[in-house]
Structure 1
């Protein structure tokens, strides 16, 4: 399950503000953006847009997509939640490296995962 999510309420509010400022109806905004009017209805009802619609909407707003993302480790209001697992944070970095093949990445993930399990069990063990 993906942890990073679109903050639909913030996206809808930004769209509504820009729409109002430009004197557009929701249907006109959808036409300018290049998405269906039903996309706007889904947003109004709190449903996330598909990836293509999200990209078109933030491009139309001329704002970075990150402005409308709820990061791992935060809730909808941006308050911290549980610390994300180290391997979850490292996996994209490992996979982005051009000097590591798929087998190398899997091996490093196994080694890091084993180390993290060991550290976790050491913390959970009573000190004798």
Structure 2
């Protein structure tokens, strides 16, 4: 079991404050960060999120200075040949598993 947990309500508060400062909708934040709108629905409802999404949001909030050595910019998203959705490639350049692959694989 992990010794630390993400304070999702606090993350939501910080994101919402920054979003309002910039005059953005949640969809606008999703576009700026290139995260799925569903990511923000998860945060708003208090559910956790993937590590890569968290890192992206920490960078967007400017809270990444303490972990900057652990962050590397992602490559260009790759389109899935089956469903056309874009996904960040794995470090080895291969496609990440996602629902359309699970359904066909």
Verify same fold: TM over 0.5.
yes
TM-score relative to the length of structure 2 = 0.59
Matched ranges for 1:102-117 at <5 A: none
Deviation at 1:65, TM superposition (A): 7.9
Instruction: Tell me the C-alpha RMSD between the 2 structures.
Output: 1.5
- C-alpha distance in structure 2 between counterparts of 1:48 and 1:65, whole Å: 22
Unaligned runs of 5+ in 1: 67-128
Q: Deviations over 1:21-76 (max 9, x none)?
A: 1000001101111210000000000001110000000000001487xxxxxxxxxx
**Runs of 4+ in structure 1 over 4 Å off:** none
User: 1:55, 1:65 within 8 Å by CA — same for their partners in 2?
Assistant: no
Higher RCO, 1 vs 2 (CA within 8 Å, ≥6 residues apart): 1
TM-score relative to the length of structure 1 = 0.49
Matched ranges for 1:32-71 at <5 A: 32-64=32-64
Pair 57,65 (structure 1): closer, same or farther in 2 beyond 3 Å: farther
The secondary structure found in structure 2 opposite 1:6 is coil
Instruction: State whether structure 2 residue 11 is matched by structure 1 residue 11.
Output: yes
- C-alpha distance in structure 2 between counterparts of 1:21 and 1:42, whole Å: 21
Q: How many residues align?
A: 66
- C-alpha distance in structure 2 between counterparts of 1:49 and 1:59, whole Å: 15
Unaligned runs of 5+ in 2: 67-105
Give 1 or 2: higher helix fraction. 1
| Rg larger for | 1
